Amino acid sequence: MRTTSSSHFSTLVVLVLLLGTCAVSRVYAQSSTQRVSQPASAATAEQQAGLRASLPFADDRDFDESQRGFIAAPDYRQILGAAGNVVWDMGRYDFLLDGQDYDSIHPSLQRQATLNMNYGLYEVVPNFIYQIRGYDLANMTLIRGDRGWILFDVLLTRETAAAALAFANQQLGERPVSAVVYSHSHIDHFGGVRGVIDDTDVQSGGVDIYAPIGFMEEAISENVYAGNAMTRRASYQYGNPLVPGPFGQVDSAIGKALARGSSGLIAPTVVVSDDFEEHTIDGVRVIFQNTPGTEAPAEMNAWFPDHNVFWAAENITATIHNIYTLRGALVRDALSWSRQINEALYRFGQDAEVMISSHNWPRWGNDRIQEVMRDQRDAYANLNNQVLNLANRGITISQMHNEYQVPQSLQQSWSVRQYHGSEFHNSRAVINRYLGYWDGNPATLAPLSPEESAPLYVDMMGGADAILPRAQALFDDGQYRHAMEILNKLVYAEPDNQTGKDLLAATFEQLGYQYESASMRNAFLTAAQELRVGVAPAGPARGTSPDLARAMTTTQWWDAIATRVDSQLADGMAFKLNFSTPDNGEQFVIEMRGGTLTNIAGYRASDADASITMNRSDLDQVIMGQATLASQLTGGRGQITGNAGVLQQLASVLVEFDPVFEIMPGTR
């Protein structure tokens, strides 16, 4: 019997719960038929040459800072999993160290990608703070406490975290872990926790785990409901199908890429709830600053008052971040972000001598720290304020990305270049936050879908025979966005027109080479590859985790199931189901009505059609995709009374999501 807990879907839900920066929860296999990318065109090469001449490359302080305190690099470039699988491979990016200027990479992005080649152990504050960099997308920060290491952020996977800690102990002397701090609710900052501690360490009281208020809820909830779509879109943002190299994926702005191992979660033992809250952790005084509504809904900075060290979490890195992330997520608040940086600047930044974060590299010296903090504060504030300035003058969401410009003074600051976010998608995010997606023109309130409007456009333009020569001429003239405009219409109208798809792919490719944002580069190059050879098949999924299943609330699980209901099929279906989990004392009413599945906690319906009783510990197996409701019930791990047929009714209207659904026409 097909039940509400299809193993395919449940596995996917657990996999995609947690990527806030940044992350991708499914690995896409490389296409065996991937074509060789085309070189940079003359127009692209000319643009890159102009940028090399105009950008402030004489300011090379980042290179000195990124190498300051270097202790050692490991003698390996790969980190392997227990089965011999490659979890991390820094060697894929060694081409960036050859000193060559690549016309296929925006010069500023190539600079950032080279700086992110940091690999190994670094001393930040003598005999106190160290960082392991280049083992994952994020850094692991080690702080010397009285008894052992206080770890700030523990990477994405068990394998990379364990390797990082082992290398630090090898170089600095073996020390136990005395505490762990999760700076925020994105998985690349807590997923590796089981590589450095285990449940016994926490249950014995030997290790406390600190996290900001709202951490557990936000760590699970962000990607549950649109998880399948987010996962597919994330393959574009992070360029998972692309081979690293000058014509492919080169960087992820805040680090190289995401490790591909196993992730877990151990719940915090100490929740930081006040705006500012002081703790002494293993002899080290720390003042935490909660910063909700910034890079993550639950995030916190930290100040070490006895050492004048400011920990900026992911709120201040070496790039402007995403106000809107291309994988899809709730729009962030640029103004709140700016205000939180300003608060930190005036509360801590006046005295700070060292600033560290969970990505990129540290800054030293008060003048330098205040410069970076002010630039970041101003960049987010300007984004918010100037977009609203333009919006109040009539610029719409459809125009904003072409109108908003970062002030020239900020463009000269490397720390606020657009490597992760970009002025294109961030500016549209701000206007969307305040005014929504509508541009005010009634014609866009209920427009035709692209596949419906495209044939009309193509017909009016004279068909493919007229479009292709015109698009080729625009391409040859370096007018790639214009070529894209008409080729995109052609491909939607004629998804089997491979000549059109190839020319659109070539156009996307040149645009990808030209963009400074790693996210935009990856999106354009991934789309180009799919237009040429189709969607890469789904490769092996990252292993499911009991930790993540336990962390998902039962309400969240039922909400996720509700997104799978096909309302057209379910319309007219009506039933109530009592669902209780006695081992944790929870009960729910699940109701199907109006083509919609809803649930409410804390109630029991006297007129329910059926009742299911199952311990939450047994439901965890269902959430992980290791069992179904039906198999648990027939195996005696739960019971159903009343009309068991309601489960069959529910199963009959559930949709299986395709994890590699088509984004570009004609790629399946």
Token pair 């951490």: residue: 215
Mean pLDDT of 364-372: 98
Bridge partners, residue 278, by sequence: 287
Residue 550: is its pLDDT beyond 90? no
- 244 in helix, strand or coil? strand
Please give the DSSP secondary-structure letter assigned to residue 184: B
Whole-number pLDDT of residue 36: 64
How many residues appear in the chain? 668
Q: What pLDDT, on a 0 to 100 scale, did the predictor assign at position 551? A: 87
Render pLDDT for 218-248 as a digit per residue (tens, 0 to 9): 988 876 788 889 889 999 999 999 999 999 9
Average pLDDT over residues 476-500: 98
Judged against a pLDDT cut of 90, whether residue 543 lies above it is answered with: no
β-bridge pairing 26-28 and 538-541: antiparallel
Mean pLDDT in the chain? Answer: 92
Q: Given this model, what pLDDT does residue 372 score?
A: 98
pLDDT at 539: 52
pLDDT band at 536 (very low <50, low <70, confident <90, very high): confident
In this prediction, residue 548 has a pLDDT band, given cuts at 50, 70 and 90, of: confident
pLDDT cut 90: percent of the chain above it: 88
Residues with Cβ within 8 Å of residue 230, at least 6 apart in sequence? 16, 19, 223, 327, 328, 329
**586-593 and 610-613 strand pairing:** unpaired
User: Residue range 267-281: average pLDDT?
Assistant: 98
Region 600-616: mean pLDDT is 98
The whole-number average pLDDT for the span 622-641 is 93
Task: Summarize the confidence of residues 343-354 as an average pLDDT.
Answer: 98
What's the rounded mean pLDDT across residues 41-58?
98
- pLDDT over 70 percentage in the chain: 93
pLDDT score at 23: 33
Q: Give yes or no for residue 4 having a pLDDT over 90.
A: no
pLDDT attached to residue 91: 97
Cα separation, 521 vs 107, in Å, equals 13
Query: By CB neighbour count within 10 A (0-12 exposed, 13-18 middle, 19+ buried), where does 526 fall?
Result: buried
d(CA 206, CA 13): 32
Q: State the pLDDT at residue 666.
A: 94
Average pLDDT estimate for 200-219: 96
Query: pTM higher than 0.85 for the full model?
Result: yes
Give residue 98's pLDDT.
Answer: 96
Residue 144 has which token pair? 């010397």
**Mean of pLDDT values over 22-38:** 44
Tens digits of per-residue pLDDT, 259-271? 999 999 999 999 9
Structure tokens at 69: 């305190």
668/289: higher pLDDT: 289
For 558-585, write each residue's pLDDT tens digit. Answer: 999 999 999 999 999 999 999 999 999 9
**Domain architecture of the chain: domains with CATH:** 7-11+552-652 (3.30.1050.10), 42-379 (3.60.15.30)
Quickly state the pLDDT bin for 638 (edges 50, 70, 90): very high
Q: Does the pLDDT at position 24 exceed 70?
A: no
What pLDDT digit, counting tens, does each position of 507-527 carry?
999 999 999 999 999 999 999
- CA torsion 397→398→401→404, rounded to 10°? -60
Residue 15 has pLDDT above 70, yes or no: no
pLDDT of amino acid 35: 52
Q: Tell me the pLDDT tens digit for each residue of 399-450.
A: 999 999 999 999 999 999 999 999 999 999 999 999 999 999 999 999 999 9
Minimum mean pLDDT range among 133-147, 340-354, 365-379, 544-558: 544-558
Span 132-159, mean pLDDT? 98
Beta-carbon count within 10 A of 231 CB: 27
Segments of 8-95 assigned E as strands? 26-28, 70-72, 78-80, 86-89
Please give the structure tokens belonging to residue 656: 């299986």
Give the pLDDT band of residue 2 (cuts 50, 70, 90): very low
Query: What one-character-per-residue DSSP string does 578-634 give?
Result: EEEETTTTEEEEEEEETTEEEEEET---TT-SEEEE--HHHHHHHHTTSS-HHHHHH
